[in-house]
Amino acid sequence: MTDDAGSEPPSLDLTPRPARPAAGNRRGAIALLLLIVGGIIFVLLRTLGDASLFFYDVAEAVDLRSDLGDSRFRVVGTPQPGLLVTELDGASAVVFTLCTDDVLADVVHLGDPAELFQPGVPVVLQGAWTAGRPPDMDGLPDAAGDGWYLRTDHMVVKHDNDYRSDGAELEPCGAGG
């Protein structure tokens, strides 16, 4: 088709051109990527830090007390009869004796105990050894009383499908049993 002057109209180039990303979008994408990578590194370090806590039963924890010093670790044992609720450093605490293989350890657990916590049901605690006498220890019937106690702040009740009948008695272990 020709125009009135007899010349051809200019042809239109309809090929798409590559889009140029705006400089602000690129910086935002880099910042978001760095934030995601930082979050992943934080989660990994937190998870690996928790996994590096050593896990001992009461007998091992007592044997290794001088080696453990004031480092945090996990300990498993069975709470013995005689739970005392008290206050330590302005926080609610439960004082009790933990036992494994006739070895006793006194425990001061800061905060609320786990929902199913009771004597005779094994627990996993996380904390560190503290030199001294636990508060209100005179009320514990079978306290270790060795000048040390576990000061814990995390508790998980171990449970299985073995249940005692209502009349079953818990046999204390350690010096009292």
pLDDT in tens, 146-172: 899 999 999 988 665 555 444 444 455
**How far is residue 35's CA from residue 117's CA, in Å, rounded to a whole number?**
40
Q: Is residue 59 part of a domain?
A: yes
| Closest listed residue to residue 111, CA positions, set 98, 92, 129 | 92
**Count of domains observed in the chain:** 2
The domain of 103 spans 55-162+172-176
Identify whether the C-beta of residue 135 lies closer than 8 Å to the C-beta of residue 86: yes
Residue 2 lies in a domain: no
Same domain? 111 vs 26: no
Paired sense of beta strands 91-100 and 123-131, if any: unpaired
Q: Which of 127, 125, 135 is nearest to 90 (CA)?
A: 135
Q: Dihedrals φ, ψ of 128, to 5°?
A: -145, 160
Q: Encode pLDDT of 80-108 as tens digits.
A: 988 888 888 888 899 999 998 889 999 99
Q: What is the mean pLDDT of residues 19-36?
A: 78
- Written as one letter, the residue type at 66 is S
Residues 67 and 154 in one domain: yes
In a domain, 38, yes or no: yes
